[in-house]
Structure formats: structure tokens, C-alpha cells
Amino acid sequence: MPNFSLADNPTGTINTWSTGDPIPPARRRGGAGVAVHDGKLYLTAGIMNGHTDGWVNWFDSHNFATKRWTELPDAPRARDHFEAAVVDGKLYAIGGRRSSFVTNQTFELTIAEVDVFDFARNKWSTLPSKDNLPTQRAWAGIVVVGRDIIVVGGESMAHLQDHWEVEAFNTASPKWQQLPHLSEGRHGTGTVPIDGSLYTCAGAGNRGGSPLVTSLERLRLP
């Protein structure tokens, strides 16, 4: 199948998946944070060897128009199994861990710090410790609503059952607040805002995998 980028067909191809421009071989990894800003895709950190080891702090962009990948300044720290978000011209790397099955620490090395890339300054920084993620976890769902970044669910060594915490970071304050928790803890899922509500569905219910979660949950926002 030929390579495809959004520039080839801005309106999209109906009911057809196409292969995009490949990540350069030397920069390939999984569990990375992905976000889109100003016509480019940004790939942050990740892990090269499954859950075993090889986590990296790489930062790359892909220009949909030119089909080119570009290496950018490394993030302050490596992390994997997390999601990234963009608010007001800044990319936020929140949560995740350094998966290390090789040292029997697959779930233990969670990350509290919030790293921020300022697109205008082309520079990374780390928020003060008071702005650390309150509940450390990996593989949470992250969604942007206005100037809030909302972290949903996740997994860690805190307990076998997945996290049901929902925490929102207001990038303007900046300040964290607790939102109503999930009915079922879950990780490895996504969350989307639709018409004033958040929706999340599926995922895994316990640290590391099963049972699979089949429910869809909705949170109406104020």
C-alpha cells in the first residue's frame, strides 16, 4: 500500500484506512505520547523494548504537508505509557512510567512531574513540584476541555484494581482539582469530549490486563 498523509487528501478517504509516512527506523518506539499542533504531529518519549526496557526521552514532529519527520529537543525525562496534550501553544507530558520488566519493575516507576514544551520558544521546562500529577499512574486517558487537561483512570502499583480517579489540571491557574471518579477503574482507553460531556469506554480493569472493561461511562461537565 502506498504511503499517505493528510496533505494527499485533506477531505479524507471514506471508509478506507491508509498507511501514513513511516517513523524513521532509528526513532521508532511504542507507548509514546502523541498530539497534533499547527498542522504537525508530535511524538513524545516512549519505549523501544515493549515493557522490558529501552525508554527514551525523544521528541519528534511530522509535517503532514511536507511528509517530513524532524528530530526536536529531547524532553526533560523519559516516560512511556502516557498521553500528551496541547493547550495554548504548549505541549504537556503528564503521567506514565519507565516500564522496566528487566528489573522486575514493570509498574513501579511512575512519574509525577509534568513536562511542558513551549512551541514559541522551542524549549522544554518542568512545572514546579506543587503541580505534579496528584495520583501517579500510567496509561490513563487524557483529554483537553478548554484550558483544562483531564486525566482519567490508569494503572500503577498502588493497587491491583485500576485507578478510578479523575483529576483536572487548569493550565491557567495552574491548579489540580478532583472530579467525580469513574464507576469502574480502567486503563488503556481513551476519553473524548462531546456536547458538554466526557465519554470513556472499554480498557482493562486490573493492573497489567484482564478483566476487560465493557462499559461506557459519561460525565456531564458543569
Structure confidence by residue, pLDDT tens digits, 93-136: 999 999 999 999 999 999 999 999 999 999 999 999 999 999 99
Q: What residue ranges in the chain does DSSP mark as E strands? A: 33-37, 40-49, 53-63, 68-72, 83-87, 90-94, 115-118, 123-126, 141-145, 148-152, 166-170, 175-179, 191-194, 197-201, 204-206, 209-212, 216-220
Entry pTM: 0.92
Domain(s) of CATH 2.120.10.80: residues in the chain: 1-133
Interval 14-71: pLDDT, tens: 889 988 899 999 999 999 999 999 999 999 999 999 999 999 999 999 999 999 999 9
Matching CATH number, 1-133, of 3.90.180.10, 2.40.50.110, 2.120.10.80, 3.40.50.150: 2.120.10.80
